[in-house]
A and B are shown apart, each in its own frame.
Chain A
């Protein structure tokens, strides 16, 4: 254990033309910490995850993972934009689950979970299958290994997606509104799985969510984003119990009224 943050956003900005999506974000996340990101749509919260997964480039600042730059690399004592080789080495520590599942439709649940371990990590099929079977069992889908995504419900697909991400043994897991595309009755089974991996794995978890109840119960820290900046952050008891900022209060009031 080190006291080095697992993830560090150091003054990171993201712009699309004239539109600034994130404005000088600085955020440290400790090893094993569970952080929820909440905020109105367009506040830049999903962009935080996408930048960390390297799905988006950044315009300013540096993102660090376990004390090593992700977006940049050291060249003669200076940080220069990272090449793909460097990015792939560092992002191997990160896994992500998407709102729309993004399972590979031409592969069974099992094949989805062994694809990257075999092609990227070079695992033997038997080892990859054993590991995937364990994970599919953990997410409660041991009976669905041979099923294709189109044969599974949304909740089941999302649980396969979680198993698929875990199969790469990431140290950091990103959850991007993973229950937003689900029918209400299927939300619980996915949250249950996330709760479980939060317990069973020494994982750093970063999630964008609209499930305030879950964020409150599950997170060590909640960050409220507003217009590309962290407006307020703190332990869930404080942020939900006694929000200091007026915008936070407005947002929480609106969300609670809605449902």
Chain B
């Protein structure tokens, strides 16, 4: 799908929200929902940053780390990929305090979702690094670069382009997983909607708005990633005919 179509969808979604907001039966709920959306965005953004950091670190550790580091990274990836995000949230929020480690709900939300998605992300990063042509490594060795120099200057910039679309998927997954945080006392967009629905029973306007707000957020991610992809691949395919 072209970036124009995506931007068109985003504008349309915003326009529908604007249109609905002219009716009091809808506008009534908008401030509360936006308040919930703000928390959702905060958790999604911070969680995504943590996911990228963890994904890159775990991938590098698994590929090039010394044995203990490699082992640690594998344990991390398998645990956080192999158990559900919900269980991880509960563990960090309800179980760890039993061992004396107490964190506030927001921190737990960012940590659990970031670590969870980072575990998937490490496979994305690892795959993209391994997909760089072997000749690029060989040329770097022939130029006597160190392992760190090769990675930083030659391999990662090329792997980066291949990583962008799958990371876009993961960011959207993370955005949607934020709905789980209501279970550890946070009032995110989905939970706000449930609360409002229970007290007012205005199911149609509330969940119509919720759907549109989620759509706007995920479209924003998709468009952002598409821009990033275009910019990054421009350097690689500059002037390439056909």
Contacts and interface: CB of A to CB of B under 8 A. Distances in A.
A150 interface: yes
Contact of A96 (B133, B142, B236): B142
Contact of B144 (A102, A116, A150, A164): A116
A84 B157 CA distance: 24
B178 interface: no
Nearest to B232: A106
A100 B135 contact: yes
Contact of B139 (A98, A106, A147): A98
8 contacts: A55-B138, A95-B142, A96-B142, A105-B158, A105-B236, A148-B238, A150-B239, A165-B142
Interface of A: 53-55, 84, 88, 91-92, 94-96, 98, 100, 102-106, 115-116, 119-120, 147-148, 150-151, 161, 164-165, 168
B239 to A, nearest CB: 4
B146 interface: yes
Nearest to B152: A119
B231 interface: no
B158 A115 contact: no
Contacts of A95: 142-143
Nearest to A168: B143
Nearest to A152: B239
B152 to A, nearest CB: 9
Contacts of B157: 106
A102 B238 contact: no
Nearest to B150: A119
A77 B183 CA distance: 68
Given A55-B138, A94-B142, A150-B240, 15 more contacts: A53-B141, A53-B142, A55-B141, A96-B142, A98-B138, A102-B136, A102-B138, A103-B139, A105-B236, A116-B144, A119-B149, A120-B144, A150-B237, A150-B239, A168-B144
Interface of B: 133, 135-136, 138-139, 141-147, 149, 153-154, 157-158, 235-240
Main secondary structure of the interface of B (DSSP, over half): helix
Nearest to B138: A55
Pick the most buried of B136, B143, B147, B239: most chain A CB atoms within 10 A of its CB: B143
Contact of B145 (A54, A116, A147, A164): A116
Contacts of A53: 138, 141-142
A88 B144 contact: yes
The 10 nearest A-B residue pairs measured at CB: A116-B143, A102-B139, A102-B135, A151-B239, A96-B142, A150-B240, A148-B238, A106-B235, A119-B149, A92-B144
A171 to B, nearest CB: 13
A54 B239 CA distance: 34
Contacts of A84: 147
Contacts of A148: 235, 238-239
Contacts of A88: 144, 146
A128 to B, nearest CB: 13
Given A104-B154, A116-B145, A151 B139 contact: no
